[in-house]
C-alpha cells in the first residue's frame, strides 16, 4: 500500500508553477500585473528571443523594502488582500505563489527601491535557491528579470513553442493590459527593437484604436452604457469593418483581460444579422460590475469568470452593442479599394503598334457615303477593336436638392446591379440587392417588435415542402412565431409542411428554398442561442429571399425610393452578411483621376 508523505518545498513550488507559469507569456502577465498594482505610471518590458532568452519588467511604482522583497518570494504572501474577503478582490491578482513559482523554474533577479529610500536592494533566486543579494542602483520602482526559464526542467522546456510563437503570446499579453489601463504608459522591446509604445493619460478609445487598429477611430462606435449596477464601455467596430478570425476581440471584466465563452457568445449574438458566419467583429469591451456579482477564481490564470446572473450579462451586452450600432447603422467602413481605384485608366487603351483612329474618321464610317459627312476622309488604318455594348444606363433624373439627401440623387444603373447616385460631396455607388436585403429585414423586425402581424400574401395554391422529419419538427415548433411575420405554414404529414402564405414584403420568391433555408438555420443554431437570436437568423434568411436581385432593371424613381428608405433605416450601411451596401467616391478622388489635383 503506498504511503502518504509530505512533499518537499521545491516540488510544491514547481507544482504551483505549473498552474501559473505555462510559458513566458504567463510569467510576463504576472509581472506586469504586479507592476500595475504597485501604482506604476510607466512600465517597460524587454524580451529576448520571444521571452525564451529573458524577460525584464521595469516600473516606477511604490517599490519594496528589503524585508518586503524577502517576504514577496515566500509562498502565499501578498499585499493585495487587506482582509479575508477573497471574493471582493479589486486588484489584478492576489496569488502569493506567483513570484516564488517563477523563481522555482527560472533564474529570477529582483531589484527594488521605495521612493523614500536612498538606494535599492537586489536579490537573486536561481530555481528556488537564493544565490546572491546586496545593494543595487536604480531609480524608485522595481525591476524584475527572468532568465533561463525551465532551464533545469527539460521536460517542460521542450514543450515550449518557437521564439516567434512565444513572442506573439507575450505581445498579446502586453496589448491587453495596455488597453485596460490607458492611464499607464507601456513600452515593449523585443531583441532591442521597440514594437509598442503608448503614452500615459490617453483616452480609452484613443488607446484602443492605437493598439488594435487605427481604422477604429473612423470605423468604430464608442460605447458607454449603464444598466443597474453594470456598466459597459469600449469601442466596437462597424459590421463592415471585420476580420476573418476572432483574434481582434478584446474583452475585460473589472479591469481583467478574459477569454470567456459567455461574453464571446454575446458579441456573436449582437452582430448576428450584420455579419457573415465566417467573419468576426473587431472590438474592445470593458464590463464593470460589483465584485460580488462575478467569481474571478474559477481559473488559475483568471482568464475565465463566472457570473452570478449570466442571462442579465448576456442580454446587457447584446442590447448595449445593438443600441450603439443602431445609432450609427447608416455608416459604412468600406472605402473604395486601392486596386479598384488604380484600375481606372487616364488614357485610352490601344493595341501595341496601332494608332487610335480620329474621331471624325469614325463618324465618316458610321454615317456612310452620300452625305455632307463624306467630305471627311475615311479611316484607312487597321480596323478598330470592336467596342462592347455598355452595361450601364441612365435616365433623366428628377431634380432634387442634394443637400437634403446624404446618399444623393440617382443618376443611373450599372450592370443592372449597382445604383450610381450624385451626392453633394461625391459619387455614391449602391449595391441594390444588399441594400434592399437590409431594408426588408428591418421591416420584418419592426413588425415583430410592434407586436403586429405582418401583412401576408396568400398563395393561390398552397405549396408543399418536403423535409427530413427532424427539420419538419423544428420548423413546426417555430410556426406560431413565424406566423407573426406573415409566414403561414402547417404540418402536412411526417416529412412535409404546407405553406399557405408568405410575408408580403418578400414578393415573389422560391418558397421551397425559403423553407429549407429556415430549417437549416434552426438546425444550426438550435438551443445554443436565445429565441430572439435564433429568430434574427431566420428573418435574415427570409429577407435575403425577398430582396431585389442583382440584374433587375430599376427605374430612376425606384432607385431614389430605395436611397430615401436607406437614409431612414437603421443599419442600412451593411447587409445581413456584413458587406457594405454603399461606397462613396469623394469629388477630390474623382478630380485626381482626371489630373485636376
Measured distance CA(328)–CA(324) in Å, rounded:
7
The answer to whether 210 and 179 are in contact (CB under 8 A) is no
Parallel, antiparallel or unpaired: strands 141-147 and 54-59: antiparallel
Convert the pLDDT of each residue in 91-136 to its tens digit: 776 445 578 888 988 999 999 999 888 899 999 999 888 999 999 9
The answer to whether 558 and 419 are in contact (CB under 8 A) is no
How is the chain split among helix, strand and coil, in percent rounded to 5?
A: 35, 25, 40
Q: For the domain with range 204-327, which CATH number is right: 3.40.50.1100, 2.40.30.10, 3.30.420.40, 3.30.230.10?
A: 3.30.230.10
Alpha helices by DSSP H, 332-393:
338-342, 359-367
Parallel, antiparallel or unpaired: strands 496-503 and 582-586: unpaired
Measured distance CA(73)–CA(78) in Å, rounded:
10
**In the chain, where are the structural domains located?**
9-83+92-198, 204-327, 400-597
Q: Which residues contact 313 (CB under 8 A, 6 or more apart)?
A: 230, 262, 263, 266, 287, 289, 307
> What fold is seen in the domain 9-83+92-198?
Heat Shock Protein 90 (3.30.565)
| In CATH, 400-597 is 1.10.30.50 | no
The helix-helix angle for 163-180 and 204-211 (nearest 10°) equals 170
Q: How many CB atoms lie within 10 A of CB 6?
A: 6
Could you read off the pLDDT tens digit of each residue along the chain, which spans 597 residues?
677 777 776 666 666 555 568 889 999 998 999 999 889 999 999 999 999 999 999 999 999 999 989 888 887 777 666 666 666 666 776 445 578 888 988 999 999 999 888 899 999 999 888 999 999 999 999 999 999 998 888 878 888 888 888 998 999 999 999 999 999 999 999 999 999 999 999 999 999 999 988 888 888 999 999 998 999 999 999 888 888 778 889 999 988 888 888 898 899 888 877 887 778 889 999 999 998 888 876 665 556 788 989 889 999 999 899 888 887 756 665 555 555 555 554 444 444 444 444 433 333 333 344 444 444 344 444 444 444 454 555 555 555 554 578 888 999 888 888 999 998 888 899 998 888 888 888 877 776 555 554 567 888 889 999 988 888 888 898 888 888 778 899 999 888 999 998 877 666 667 887 888 788 777 766 544 444 555 566 677 766 765 555 567 888 888 998 899 888 887 788 887 777 888 888 888 888 878 776
Q: How high is the pLDDT of residue 120?
A: 93
Q: How high is the pLDDT of residue 289?
A: 92
CA angle 575, 577, 582 (to 5 degrees): 35
Convert the pLDDT of each residue in 102-111 to its tens digit: 898 899 999 9
The helix-helix angle for 511-525 and 469-477 (nearest 10°) equals 90
H-helix or E-strand spanning residue 219: helix 216-219
Q: How high is the pLDDT of residue 364?
A: 38
Amino acid at each position: 500500500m503506498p504511503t502518504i508523505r509530505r512533499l518537499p518545498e521545491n516540488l510544491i513550488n514547481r507544482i504551483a508553477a505549473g498552474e501559473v507559469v505555462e510559458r513566458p507569456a504567463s510569467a510576463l502577465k504576472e509581472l506586469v500585473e504586479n507592476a500595475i498594482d504597485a501604482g506604476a505610471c510607466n512600465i517597460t518590458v524587454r524580451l529576448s528571443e520571444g521571452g525564451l532568452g529573458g524577460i525584464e519588467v521595469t516600473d516606477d511604482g511604490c517599490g519594496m523594502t528589503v524585508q518586503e522583497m524577502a517576504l514577496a518570494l515566500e509562498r502565499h504572501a501578498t499585499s493585495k488582500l487587506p482582509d479575508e474577503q477573497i471574493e471582493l478582490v479589486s486588484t489584478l491578482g492576489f496569488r502569493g505563489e506567483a513570484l516564488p513559482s517563477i523563481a522555482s523554474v527560472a533564474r529570477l533577479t529582483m531589484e527594488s527601491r521605495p521612493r523614500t529610500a536612498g538606494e535599492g536592494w537586489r536579490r537573486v533566486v536561481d530555481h528556488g535557491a537564493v544565490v546572491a543579494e546586496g545593494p543595487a542602483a536604480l531609480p524608485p520602482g522595481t525591476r524584475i528579470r527572468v532568465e533561463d526559464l525551465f532551464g533545469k526542467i527539460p521536460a517542460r522546456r521542450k514543450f515550449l513553442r518557437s521564439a516567434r510563437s512565444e513572442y506573439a503570446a507575450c505581445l498579446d499579453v502586453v496589448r491587453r493590459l495596455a488597453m485596460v489601463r490607458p492611464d499607464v504608459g507601456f513600452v515593449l522591446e523585443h531583441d532591442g527593437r521597440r514594437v509598442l509604445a503608448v503614452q500615459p493619460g490617453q483616452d480609452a478609445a484613443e488607446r484602443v484604436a492605437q493598439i488594435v487598429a487605427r481604422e477604429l477611430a473612423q470605423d468604430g462606435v464608442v460605447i458607454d452604457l449603464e444598466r443597474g449596477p453594470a456598466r459597459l464601455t469600449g469601442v466596437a467596430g462597424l459590421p463592415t469593418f471585420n476580420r476573418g478570425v476572432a483574434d481582434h476581440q478584446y474583452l475585460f471584466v473589472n479591469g481583467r483581460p478574459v477569454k470567456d465563452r459567455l461574453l464571446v457568445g454575446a458579441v456573436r449574438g449582437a452582430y448576428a444579422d450584420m455579419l457573415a458566419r465566417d467573419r468576426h467583429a473587431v472590438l474592445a469591451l470593458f464590463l464593470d460590475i460589483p465584485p460580488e456579482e462575478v467569481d474571478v477564481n474559477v481559473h488559475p490564470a483568471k482568464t475565465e469568470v463566472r457570473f452570478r446572473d449570466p442571462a442579465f450579462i448576456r442580454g446587457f451586452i447584446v442590447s448595449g452593442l445593438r443600441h450603439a450600432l443602431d445609432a450609427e447603422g447608416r455608416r459604412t467602413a468600406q472605402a473604395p479599394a486601392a486596386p479598384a481605384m488604380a484600375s481606372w485608366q487616364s488614357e485610352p487603351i490601344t493595341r501595341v503598334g496601332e494608332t487610335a483612329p480620329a474621331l471624325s474618321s469614325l463618324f465618316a464610317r458610321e454615317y456612310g457615303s452620300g452625305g455632307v459627312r463624306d467630305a471627311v476622309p475615311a479611316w484607312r488604318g487597321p480596323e478598330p477593336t470592336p467596342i462592347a455594348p455598355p452595361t450601364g444606363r441612365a435616365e433623366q433624373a428628377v431634380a432634387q436638392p442634394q443637400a437634403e439627401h446624404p446618399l444623393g440623387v440617382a443618376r443611373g444603373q450599372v450592370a443592372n446591379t449597382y445604383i450610381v447616385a450624385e451626392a453633394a460631396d461625391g459619387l455614391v455607388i449602391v449595391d441594390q440587392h444588399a441594400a434592399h436585403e437590409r431594408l426588408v429585414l428591418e421591416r420584418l423586425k419592426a413588425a415583430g417588435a410592434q407586436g403586429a402581424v405582418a401583412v401576408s400574401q396568400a398563395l393561390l395554391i398552397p405549396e408543399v415542402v418536403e423535409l427530413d422529419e427532424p427539420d419538419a419538427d423544428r420548423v413546426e415548433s417555430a410556426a406560431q412565431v413565424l406566423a407573426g411575420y406573415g409566414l403561414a405554414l402547417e404540418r402536412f404529414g411526417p416529412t412535409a409542411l404546407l405553406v399557405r402564405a408568405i410575408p408580403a414584403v418578400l414578393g415573389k420568391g422560391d418558397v421551397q428554398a425559403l423553407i429549407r433555408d429556415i430549417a437549416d438555420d434552426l438546425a444550426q443554431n438550435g438551443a445554443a442561442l436565445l429565441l430572439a437570436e435564433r429568430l434574427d437568423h431566420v428573418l435574415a434568411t427570409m429577407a435575403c429571399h425577398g430582396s431585389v436581385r442583382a440584374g433587375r432593371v430599376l427605374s430612376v424613381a425606384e432607385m431614389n425610393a430605395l436611397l430615401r428608405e436607406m437614409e431612414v433605416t437603421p443599419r442600412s450601411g451593411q447587409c445581413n452578411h456584413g458587406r457594405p451596401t454603399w461606397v462613396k467616391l469623394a469629388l477630390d478622388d474623382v478630380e485626381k483621376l482626371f489630373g485636376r489635383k
